[in-house]
Structure 1
Amino acid sequence: MQKITGGVTAPKGFLAGGLHCGVRASQSKKDLAMIYSQTPCTAAAVYTQNKVYGAPITVTKNNIADGMAQALICNSGNANTCNADGVEKAEAMCQMTAEALGLAPEDIIIASTGVIGAVLPLEPIAKGIRELAPQLTAGGGALAAEAIMTTDTKAKEEAYTIEIGGKTVTIGAMAKGSGMIHPNMATMLGFLTTDAAISAPMLNKALKLAVDDTFNMVSVDGDTSTNDMVSIMANGMAENPLIEEEGADFDAFLTVIKEICTSMAKKIAGDGEGATKLMECTVNGAPTTPLAKAIAKSIITSSLTKAAMFGADANWGRILCAIGYTDGDFAVDTISVDISSPKGNIHVCENGAGVAFDEEVAKNILLEEEIHIQVEMNQGHGTATAWGCDLTYDYVKINGDYRT
């Protein structure tokens, strides 16, 4: 496996682009992205479990029910959620994209992100689709990644290659997410492309397995979005032997999918709204892996722990508190906690009780931009890692006037 430059257009046969069409008021911000495969793809997606969900999710579920797609359209600035005409407009966007690319409407994956409850204007999107389709290029992945951003401070894209069946397979990705991040399936928006030859059922299985350990282990603010979606399209142009069942080739493909999703998940957590620090929490020795996941996510979701990380305060009691209110059957008196960063490591808790440590050393460790919390439970073999960020004044500022 090798990391390479690029994003969704790194795999063979994928073109992409992005532009400002007018959904967002600021003309300096792109708000329409498109991805197109030169050949049909097997496709899969995972979606938010929020009972309030965007119209694009309804339409995408219908469109890829057959496990096939060939293009993706996504707008930012408006979530197309909680609108009476939402499904109608999402279907219209698919129709417009299909006409521009010479495809059928059901070949299109559609996503939207932005303000909830605002009526989606179709006129600028229609104009934008007509302009964007002829502009798609093999170098347009970065433009597409920029066009799906909302409060993100930076575009997020990644690409890897791996040898499968004697062929070089490439996987690319782009994602957006900064606030309203507490996934229960995937997170924010994430779009993956690959030139691997893989059946739709196995593609779906790989995506779900990868998402469960990566995007599902991210939290910025504890709010599960209405529009969360992670999708993947595979066009087979790498010409590897078709992956139709579990085995060495599937394992290799899953390994690289997990790697790229892990990288993107960390980018999302580190770019949380107002964040100054990436928090990574690893729980080892839990009675079960599901319990390890729940504890790790409980810690990185704790507002008090997040605030302490912002203030460079080694208030380890808040970590124990977050462990303690996690649902599950486990003991507390065997738990130890370490906090580390590039500046070093400090042991703050042993057997559920505090130990003496140098507060000045701890502060210097916590002033770094990436903080790791290590929890050892000594009660089994369950292990998990979750990612989050600190809680700052700017988070409230950003969300206090997000709509207006």
Structure 2
Amino acid sequence: MDEITIASVKGFRAAGVHAGLKKADVLDMALVVSDRPCVAAGTFTQNLVRAAPVLYDQAALAENRTGIRAVVINAKNANAVTGAQGMRDALEMATLTEQALDLPHGSTLVMSTGVIGVPLPMAKIAQGIQLAAQALGDSVADGQRASEAIMTTDTHPKRAARQIVLDSVTVTLAGMAKGAGMIHPNMATMLGLIVTDGAIDAEPLQSALYHAVERSYNCITVDGDTSTNDTQLVLANGAAGNPMIDSVDHPAYPAFCEALHDLCVDLARQIAFDGEGATKHVTIQVHGLPTFEEARAIGRTIATSPLVKTALYGRDANWGRVLAAAGRADVPFDPARASLWFGDLQLLREGTPLPVDEARALEILSAQEIYLTFHLDHGEASALVWTCDFSVDYVNVNAEYRT
């Protein structure tokens, strides 16, 4: 199947342009537009310090969840901790987009990513919006450029798509996301946008997004820092013509929900594995807890441990660090019932250490893909968490990020 991008979805167009926010003609502004009103859903950062575009989008969706037409995104500048001026600039971004495209007031959402605490250079933003409005297209390449334009320290763009058949109608979902550092989402991701031509009402769409985010973006971490700008949006314009999914009880809802979840997992894994300076793709499997939330909490605590992450970078099977991290996850468990594997090498059986085959451990930890499995005997719930290692390059990138 040919690649499907966000611009390939029926009724949507996209653009990625250079507005002058970054140097050397690098793409730094994206615009995605629907030819008809969209039902919209969103999840946002739970950080108490929330960027102006987050606050703007939350207010916009509270007023209008069925008439969204566009999303405009800039890189290089987060428009976070910018006071009243930041709120005015977020509104102006939306207004300029609506004027450029002759869209109704209140039909545009805004996202920003980059350095915190610096006002947006609105002259460049205004120029970028005009350029993006003129460059809109519905080709695969147009969607590719949009996904490239939202990158910051990402080493590559994150894109994914899924197609499903609902009541004999093919429905397409496509998304793009960005993120490599300050990744520890809580009800969102760094920045993500998914569009679909499926017909679905606001309540079931929000419910499907919440379910998907809880088991995808909220199961990744790079460094344990939750961003001020985390935003995941979904726009559904109904252009496919499937019968309207009007509730969570609709027969087509489970299939739509599964496709959205699968798409979010794909994008979330791409973010986790593209962590700043990452050399390892780490999947942590936690089994045997009473609830999914408890299993995830243990997995995320292991995944955020600097000692675990540096050991993985150094290919050191220092499994005690994993157990120690699990023990501070604020989830009660009996250490005497804990078992641990690195790949297929068991290191702990029901609280008892096993002899370590150092040669096999080194072989497992030398691979790019690493799997850690932590098992308890306290219930039937499990969770998957995705992360990466900490390398010297992570320190270098973040020591010099602003300068």
TM norm structure 2? 0.97
How far off its partner does 1:361 sit?
Answer: 1.1
Q: 1:7 aligns with which of 5, 12, 22?
A: 5
Q: 2:61 aligns with which of 36, 45, 64?
A: 64
Instruction: Determine if the alignment matches structure 1 residue 226 to structure 2 residue 223.
Output: no
How far off its partner does 1:328 sit?
Answer: 2.1
Residues 21 and 32, structure 1, Cα contact 8 Å, conserved in 2 = yes
Q: State the partner residue of 1:262.
A: 265
Residues 74 and 112, structure 1, Cα contact 8 Å, conserved in 2 = yes
Cα-Cα RMSD: 1.1
Whole-Å Cα distance in 2 between the matches of residues 63 and 57 of structure 1? 10
Any idea what the Cα deviations from partners look like across 1:91-114, whole Å, max 9, x if unmatched? Answer: 001011001111023101100000
Whole-Å Cα distance in 2 between the matches of residues 8 and 169 of structure 1? 13
Whole-Å Cα distance in 2 between the matches of residues 91 and 202 of structure 1? 28
Whole-Å Cα distance in 1 between the matches of residues 105 and 157 of structure 2? 28
Q: State the partner residue of 2:202.
A: 200
Q: State the partner residue of 1:147.
A: 149
What does residue range 152-163 of structure 1 map to in structure 2 within 5 Å? 152-163=154-165
Give SS of 1:106's match: coil
Whole-Å Cα distance in 2 between the matches of residues 169 and 95 of structure 1? 31
Any idea what the Cα deviations from partners look like across 1:40-94, whole Å, max 9, x if unmatched? Answer: 1000100001111110011111222221311100000000011120010010010
Instruction: Determine if the alignment matches structure 1 residue 46 to structure 2 residue 49.
Output: no
Q: State the partner residue of 1:351.
A: 350
How far off its partner does 1:5 sit?
Answer: 1.7
Whole-Å Cα distance in 1 between the matches of residues 385 and 19 of structure 2? 36
Whole-Å Cα distance in 1 between the matches of residues 402 and 134 of structure 2? 33
Q: State the partner residue of 1:383.
A: 382
Q: State the partner residue of 1:121.
A: 121
Shifted more, 71-80 versus 372-381: the winner is: 372-381
Residues 97 and 105, structure 1, Cα contact 8 Å, conserved in 2 = no
Instruction: Determine if the alignment matches structure 1 residue 283 to structure 2 residue 283.
Output: no
Residues 298 and 331, structure 2, Cα contact 8 Å, conserved in 1 = no
Residues 341 and 374, structure 2, Cα contact 8 Å, conserved in 1 = yes
Amino acid at match of 1:259: D
1:28/1:369 Cα in 2 relative to 1: closer, same or farther (>3 Å)?
farther
Q: Which runs of 5+ in 2 are unaligned?
A: none
What does residue range 174-253 of structure 1 map to in structure 2 within 5 Å? 174-247=176-249, 248-253=251-256
Amino acid at match of 1:82: V
Shifted more, 240-249 versus 208-217: the winner is: 240-249
Any idea what the Cα deviations from partners look like across 1:159-186, whole Å, max 9, x if unmatched? Answer: 1100111110100000000000011111
Q: State the partner residue of 2:14.
A: 16
Any idea what the Cα deviations from partners look like across 1:305-346, whole Å, max 9, x if unmatched? Answer: 111110111111111011111112221111111112xxxx21
Residues 28 and 74, structure 2, Cα contact 8 Å, conserved in 1 = yes
Give SS of 1:115's match: coil
Whole-Å Cα distance in 1 between the matches of residues 25 and 339 of structure 2? 49
Could you tell me the percent identity over the aligned residues? 42
Amino acid at match of 2:44: Y
Q: 2:338 aligns with which of 335, 339, 356?
A: 335
Give SS of 2:347's match: strand
What does residue range 95-110 of structure 1 map to in structure 2 within 5 Å? 95-110=95-110
How far off its partner does 1:128 sit?
Answer: 1.3
Whole-Å Cα distance in 1 between the matches of residues 24 and 372 of structure 2? 41
Q: State the partner residue of 1:370.
A: 369
Moved >4 Å (runs of 4+)? none
Residues 15 and 32, structure 2, Cα contact 8 Å, conserved in 1 = yes
Whole-Å Cα distance in 2 between the matches of residues 38 and 76 of structure 1? 25
Whole-Å Cα distance in 2 between the matches of residues 7 and 189 of structure 1? 16
Give SS of 1:300's match: helix
Q: 1:31 aligns with which of 25, 28, 32?
A: 28
Amino acid at match of 1:98: E
Shifted more, 215-224 versus 286-295: the winner is: 286-295
Q: State the partner residue of 1:132.
A: 132
How far off its partner does 1:208 sit?
Answer: 0.7
Whole-Å Cα distance in 1 between the matches of residues 364 and 371 of structure 2? 10
Whole-Å Cα distance in 2 between the matches of residues 106 and 314 of structure 1? 54
Whole-Å Cα distance in 2 between the matches of residues 319 and 329 of structure 1? 16
Whole-Å Cα distance in 2 between the matches of residues 268 and 220 of structure 1? 9
Residues 64 and 106, structure 1, Cα contact 8 Å, conserved in 2 = no
How far off its partner does 1:202 sit?
Answer: 0.8
Shifted more, 265-274 versus 127-136: the winner is: 127-136
How far off its partner does 1:7 sit?
Answer: 2.3
Residues 64 and 107, structure 1, Cα contact 8 Å, conserved in 2 = no
How far off its partner does 1:205 sit?
Answer: 0.7
Amino acid at match of 1:11: V
Any idea what the Cα deviations from partners look like across 1:132-174, whole Å, max 9, x if unmatched? Answer: 1121111211101000000000000011100111110100000
Whole-Å Cα distance in 1 between the matches of residues 291 and 119 of structure 2? 45
Residues 60 and 109, structure 1, Cα contact 8 Å, conserved in 2 = yes
TM norm structure 1? 0.96
